[in-house]
Amino acid sequence: MAQYVIGDIHGGNRALTQLLARVPIRPNDQLIFLGDYLDGWSEGPEVIDSLIALSKQYNCRFIRGNHDALCLDYLKNGKAPQQWVIHGGQSSIDAYKHCPSAQIDRHIAFLEHLENYIEIEARLFVHAGFSHPKGPKEEFHAHLVYWDRSLWETARAAHHLTDQDSWQYPERLKLYKEIYIGHTPVQRIGASTPFCASNVWNVDTGAAFGGALSAINTATKEFWQSDPLPSLYPNELGRQA
């Protein structure tokens, strides 16, 4: 059984379809999605429909991203804070105007049942990170796991430390053999493919901002990518607007 991790999709259903056609998925394989399914490109509802359909074919697990939490609040309560609207939320507002209520209800149910994080053996899968030295289950504020950027910053700062027993090595990073995250595009450090710092793999390859959507095999570290999303949505800007 192979295990694949898929990064932030941000409404790019064409990229999701293309990527899944390129990954050699077999019936018993596991797919773990790192969150941020919505906000960016115009096909957020189509992404959720695709994920629901995919879950009926494969062993899928879906993690909650910060954009998913914000969009859920909008769909349930009509809340649209300006910071969300200008950072991708407008695309979801526009897209859901054309969706029937039954579809919206299905999407609300899907978003409500997302997982905050997943632990499998010595691996952690989480959208953003965690700040508590004893791990995400001890986090004082549950929402930090889909907002925190300090874990990625810590992993990058500790990347030069090769000895995990060193007193300098961050305690958070010793809790797991590997951690898989999204949330912070690797373009910020000049990368375009899944990038490992210390033992943290960042699979957000900037699909929202003009990069590609990526998937990685956790055992072999082989990865696959869609085409850059602007080529799939030539009349849109995504979150580059």
pTM beyond 0.85, yes or no: yes
| pLDDT tens sequence across 190-229 | 999 999 999 999 999 999 999 999 999 999 999 999 999 9
The CATH number covering residue 103 comes to: 3.60.21.10
pLDDT surpassing 70 at residue 40: yes
Distance CA 32, CA 126 (A): 10
CA distances from 184 to 33, 197, 229 (A): 15, 13, 17
Amino acid present at 241: A
The whole-angstrom separation of Cα 226 and Cα 15 is 6
H/E stretch holding 30:
strand 30-33
Cα 50 to Cα 218: distance, rounded to the nearest angstrom: 23
Question: Is 34 within 8 Å of 180 (Cβ atoms)?
Answer: yes
* pLDDT tens, residue by residue, 105-161: 999 999 999 999 999 999 999 999 999 999 999 999 999 999 999 999 999 999 888
pLDDT computed for residue 166 by the predictor: 74
Q: What confidence tier does 238 reach under pLDDT thresholds 50, 70, 90?
A: very high
Q: Given a cut of 80, is residue 2 above it in pLDDT?
A: yes
| Domain span at 103 | 3-240
**Token pair for 207:** 């699909």
Using CA atoms, how far apart are residues 216 and 153, in angstroms rounded to an integer? Answer: 21
Share of the chain above pLDDT 70, in %: 98
Dihedral sign computed on CA atoms, order 45, 5, 132, 191: negative
Residue 240 confidence (pLDDT) = 86
pLDDT over 70 (residue 72): yes
- pLDDT value, residue 9: 98
| Cα 3 from chain centroid (whole Å) | 15
Helices (H), 23-142: 44-55, 66-77, 82-84, 90-96, 101-112
Count structural domains, the chain.
Answer: 1
- β-pair partners for 125: 118, 180
State the pLDDT confidence band at 164, using cuts at 50, 70 and 90.
low
Average pLDDT over residues 86-115: 98
Mean pLDDT for the chain overall: 96
114: left (phi over 0), alpha (psi -120 to 50) or beta: beta
SS3 195: strand
pLDDT for position 158: 92
| CA nearest to 116, candidates 106, 108, 104, 125 | 125
* Predicted pLDDT at 241: 66
> Amino acid identity, residue 97?
K
Is the per-residue pLDDT at 165 higher than 90? no
